[in-house]
Structure 1
Amino acid sequence: MTHIRHDTVIVGGGLVGGLTALLLQKEGVQPLVLDIAPTLDAAKVLEHVDTRVLALNTATLHLLETVNVWQNIRRHAPYTGMHVWNKNGHGEISFGQPSLESPPQKDWLGSMVEPSIINLAIQQRMLDVLTNYRTSVSVKYVEPDAQGWCITLNNDEKIYTRLLIGADGANSLVRKHADIEVKILDYKQAAIGCAIKTKHVHHSVARQIFLPTGPLAYLPLAVTQNEEQNTWQSIVWTLPDTLCQQYMQLDDQAFKQQLTQSSLYLQGGVVEVSKRASFSLKARAAKHYVKPGLALVGDAAHVIHPLAGQGVNIGCLDAAILVDVLIQDWKNTGQWASKTALKKYERRRKMENEMTMHSMSFMNWLQRSDLTAVIWARTFGLKQVHRFSPLKNRFMRQASGLSVLAKSRYRL
């Protein structure tokens, strides 16, 4: 029996999977995208403000502009400055500078975007330019066959492909059914996320204070037009598991007081708070990113601690580098998704991502330690980075993701 075999199937249509698909489409490859999410209703998405935001760096914004997605983002909050400091120490570091309303894009360090808003823009673009994009699709299992991979859907439909890309998140079914092991590091921490309104405006600055219990981030949040701008922010408050449970049980008034006191009255204190959500924190690292005819990208390949907000950005870099090596190898050899190309992708991304993951884990431990020597070392380190411009500029370029893109067709 003859089966129709696709060149590329992507399981997952979120930011990373959608970006991968759109980058491929721009290079002349039409992938089939299987998205578990339904077709979104733009009006419903826009009327609701998501209290969680993604901190998109310069490289991610550039990639989204490349595939004509960023131009259709309906709501976002650019940030022009970052300020990081430790409660138990005197070290601090700042990047960029505060800004008034509507800062010009040349001054942005990045922008805060709600996941629902980015998913809407990604989906609308895929609906416009992809010939094979399917929503509300559930995958039952995947298995290798003689010429690639077979995907079986929940309705028992079978789809065959030469290249399968797993972009289906931290609990990736593609990774599981491909028998790729994953290492898990449980931080014994959880994070509280919600929207807050502060007494003073944020001036487009993302702030993070390292508390003895874990980092607390204040991130600019774009709100609907009838709300007061520049005083709403999204928080990510990392806490030990038991303390997180206690804070989640507080009523709104008590939580506002606790947050205001813990942050040392940051931005003048909290005057309003939205409904809270919590999520456990675990790092994940796939043992392999590739198998013959298969590649993992984004959270399917790695999950890191959120303290630097880099998780989604390194996932977008995965998408860019995977497409870059696939297209380059295809043009040079005429082969699609060769073993050589996939291994090159793994070499370029796996070690760098694992170094980022371990550095975030180390920073998390370093900032929580109350040992005198550690307090001195982290204070000294922050001061040196802050004062030494070449080191600070290198740190900023690394955080922007531009150093990775510089080695690809997507360099700025």
Structure 2
Amino acid sequence: MQPNSVSPASEKQHIVIVGGGMTGGLLAVLLAEQGLTVTVLDGAPAPVMPTGPAQLRVSTLTEASHWLLQNSGVWEYLDMSRVQPYDAMQVWDQDGTGEVLFRAREVGAQSLGWLLENGHLAAALYRRAADYPNLHWRCGVAVEGARREEGRWQVRAGDEQWQADLLVGADGARSRVRDWAGISGGARDSGHHALVATIATALPHNACARQVFMESGPLALLPLYSDPQQGEQRQCSIVWSGWPERIARLREAAPADFAAELQAATGEALGEVTLLSERAVFPIQERHASSYVAAGLALVGDAAHVIHPLAGQGVNLGLLDAAVLAEEVERATQSGRSCADSAALARYQRRRRGENLLMQNAMRGFQQLFGQRALPVRWLRNTGMRWVNQAGPLKRLFASQAMGRGADLPVRARPRA
């Protein structure tokens, strides 16, 4: 199934979204459902459903993200054999005895979240886009510039040009849309690099997400779908964050040596491990745009904010950006105002910027807290983790927040009664 071909470039577009990843794709679907004309311009090739070995980049979806995707009709386009729900999450401190174990049943849920490949979700969104004749998704289109003239944005790619009442930057951390709007990206080096890879484990993961905090940085073992070649529940994605020199050494280590270090770092939580994939490394740089909006323009996802991946919340924050922006646009258009109404954009920023900044600061605080070697700090954090693990109401509160049960969720993201 192919998305609809683009309308002539001279035709006025209501909304142009630059970037067709997970956040931009969901936003396009939500806006198209309102009957607005939407064009997605994406420099990448058309996403395809993954087959074979698991892709390196995976995401953890919260309950809120699950409801968003289900209520927008995207969930049904996923290949459920490649989606792994998890109903437990274990977090511990390598330097002590502190540990917290969250279980879905403690918050009245069947799952705490879902794990799937980024490319898988992008492909499902692309397929869903084909259901809307008013949604035109152009792949392999590198946008070269945008300028605002006579109340509209003029977006240029090669010899083609689009006019947009509302221009949305969903083009990632190095957003060119953000630059064209003159908005500062607010970059900050976290001091960490991250290594991602896929492993097989001797022991089944039992649908439990695990994370160990070390002085050098956190290490997450994320349960993946069952691969017949690896056996039931014996495949995990890892995200190992740490000092650049340590991560570089891990990337270059022989597979057997890497596996041995991984086993030691996790206390052999899943027994012997085997490296199944290449090891990819990327720097972790936090960003928070000085503004999410400008005249006729909005930023969503990584174009607006990038946080440390230690809690796996980056994609979920972006999906909520998309849902809130779509909700505010719908509120404006239903009352006869423009999709780029300044009050609607201001409300979008007010609803999302504070929550995203709070999450970013929380992740930075966790990184700094667990990087401390001082004995009093280690004692306090281990004592605190044990206390949280025993304090039912507080643990349920943390689990609910991690599941995306926030106070200002868009209607589509709220769990059903």
TM-score in same-fold range (> 0.5): yes
Taking structure 2 as the reference length, what is the TM-score of the superposition?
A: 0.92
- Kindly indicate whether residue 46 of structure 2 is the aligned counterpart of residue 39 of structure 1: yes
| Residue correspondence of structure 1 range 181-330 to structure 2 within 5 A | 181-330=184-333
Change in Cα spacing, 1:314 to 1:303, as seen in structure 2 (3 Å) is same
Shift of 1:97: 5.8
Change in Cα spacing, 1:59 to 1:410, as seen in structure 2 (3 Å) is closer
Counterpart amino acid of 2:34?
E
Provide the residue aligned with 1:177 in structure 2.
Answer: 180
Counterpart amino acid of 2:188?
L
Instruction: State the alpha-carbon separation in 2 of the partners of residues 136 and 157 from structure 1.
Output: 13
Counterpart amino acid of 2:355?
E
Provide the residue aligned with 2:68 in structure 1.
Answer: 63
Counterpart amino acid of 2:69?
L
Instruction: State the alpha-carbon separation in 2 of the partners of residues 407 and 19 from structure 1.
Output: 14
Higher mean C-alpha deviation, range 377-386 or range 20-29: 377-386
Provide the residue aligned with 2:58 in structure 1.
Answer: 53
Structure 2 counterpart SS, 1:264: coil
Alignment deviations for residues 249-286 of structure 1 (CA, whole Å, 9 cap, x no partner): 11111111111112211211313442111111110110
Alignment deviations for residues 123-155 of structure 1 (CA, whole Å, 9 cap, x no partner): 1111232532211111001111112211110x1
Higher mean C-alpha deviation, range 139-148 or range 89-98: 89-98
Q: Contact between 1:256 and 1:273, CA under 8 Å: does it hold in 2?
A: no
Counterpart amino acid of 1:275?
E
Higher mean C-alpha deviation, range 401-410 or range 342-351: 401-410
Q: Contact between 2:62 and 2:112, CA under 8 Å: does it hold in 1?
A: yes
Instruction: State the alpha-carbon separation in 1 of the partners of residues 163 and 315 from structure 2.
Output: 29
Counterpart amino acid of 1:196?
I
Provide the residue aligned with 1:148 in structure 2.
Answer: 152
| Residue correspondence of structure 1 range 46-125 to structure 2 within 5 A | 46-74=51-79, 75-96=82-103, 107-125=110-128
Q: Contact between 1:252 and 1:273, CA under 8 Å: does it hold in 2?
A: no
Unaligned stretches of 5+ residues in structure 1? 99-104
Instruction: State the alpha-carbon separation in 2 of the partners of residues 261 and 217 from structure 1.
Output: 14
Structure 1 counterpart SS, 2:333: helix
Provide the residue aligned with 1:138 in structure 2.
Answer: 142
Instruction: State the alpha-carbon separation in 2 of the partners of residues 179 and 125 from structure 1.
Output: 33
Structure 1 counterpart SS, 2:141: coil
Q: Contact between 1:324 and 1:409, CA under 8 Å: does it hold in 2?
A: no
Shift of 1:404: 4.5
Work out the number of aligned pairs and report it.
402
Provide the residue aligned with 1:101 in structure 2.
Answer: none
Instruction: State the alpha-carbon separation in 2 of the partners of residues 127 and 179 from structure 1.
Output: 33
- Kindly indicate whether residue 12 of structure 2 is the aligned counterpart of residue 8 of structure 1: no
Instruction: State the alpha-carbon separation in 1 of the partners of residues 211 and 48 from structure 2.
Output: 34
Which one of 344, 347, 351 corresponds to residue 348 of structure 1?
351
Instruction: State the alpha-carbon separation in 1 of the partners of residues 168 and 370 from structure 2.
Output: 37
Provide the residue aligned with 1:102 in structure 2.
Answer: none
Instruction: State the alpha-carbon separation in 2 of the partners of residues 332 and 292 from structure 1.
Output: 20
Instruction: State the alpha-carbon separation in 2 of the partners of residues 172 and 138 from structure 1.
Output: 13
Aligned CA RMSD, in angstroms, stands at 1.9
Shift of 1:52: 2.6
Instruction: State the alpha-carbon separation in 2 of the partners of residues 14 and 336 from structure 1.
Output: 22
Among all aligned residue pairs of Structure 1 and Structure 2, give the percentage whose two residues are the same amino acid.
Answer: 36
Alignment deviations for residues 311-342 of structure 1 (CA, whole Å, 9 cap, x no partner): 00001010111111111122234332211110
Counterpart amino acid of 2:103?
G
Provide the residue aligned with 1:28 in structure 2.
Answer: 35
Change in Cα spacing, 1:260 to 1:360, as seen in structure 2 (3 Å) is same
Instruction: State the alpha-carbon separation in 2 of the partners of residues 271 and 136 from structure 1.
Output: 36
Q: Contact between 1:293 and 1:338, CA under 8 Å: does it hold in 2?
A: yes
Q: Contact between 1:46 and 1:117, CA under 8 Å: does it hold in 2?
A: no
Q: Contact between 1:184 and 1:283, CA under 8 Å: does it hold in 2?
A: yes
Q: Contact between 1:53 and 1:221, CA under 8 Å: does it hold in 2?
A: no
Q: Contact between 1:148 and 1:292, CA under 8 Å: does it hold in 2?
A: no
Shift of 1:394: 1.8
Structure 2 counterpart SS, 1:268: coil
- Kindly indicate whether residue 26 of structure 2 is the aligned counterpart of residue 19 of structure 1: yes
| Residue correspondence of structure 1 range 154-169 to structure 2 within 5 A | 155-169=158-172
Change in Cα spacing, 1:410 to 1:53, as seen in structure 2 (3 Å) is closer
Which one of 373, 379, 384 corresponds to residue 381 of structure 1?
384
Structure 2 counterpart SS, 1:129: coil
Change in Cα spacing, 1:404 to 1:64, as seen in structure 2 (3 Å) is farther
Instruction: State the alpha-carbon separation in 1 of the partners of residues 256 and 102 from structure 2.
Output: 33
Alignment deviations for residues 63-83 of structure 1 (CA, whole Å, 9 cap, x no partner): 111111111211211111101
Counterpart amino acid of 2:62?
N
Taking structure 1 as the reference length, what is the TM-score of the superposition?
A: 0.93
Structure 1 counterpart SS, 2:406: helix
Q: Contact between 2:67 and 2:412, CA under 8 Å: does it hold in 1?
A: no
Structure 2 counterpart SS, 1:7: strand
Q: Contact between 2:86 and 2:115, CA under 8 Å: does it hold in 1?
A: yes
Structure 2 counterpart SS, 1:139: coil
Change in Cα spacing, 1:97 to 1:23, as seen in structure 2 (3 Å) is closer
Structure 1 counterpart SS, 2:92: strand
Unaligned stretches of 5+ residues in structure 2? 1-8
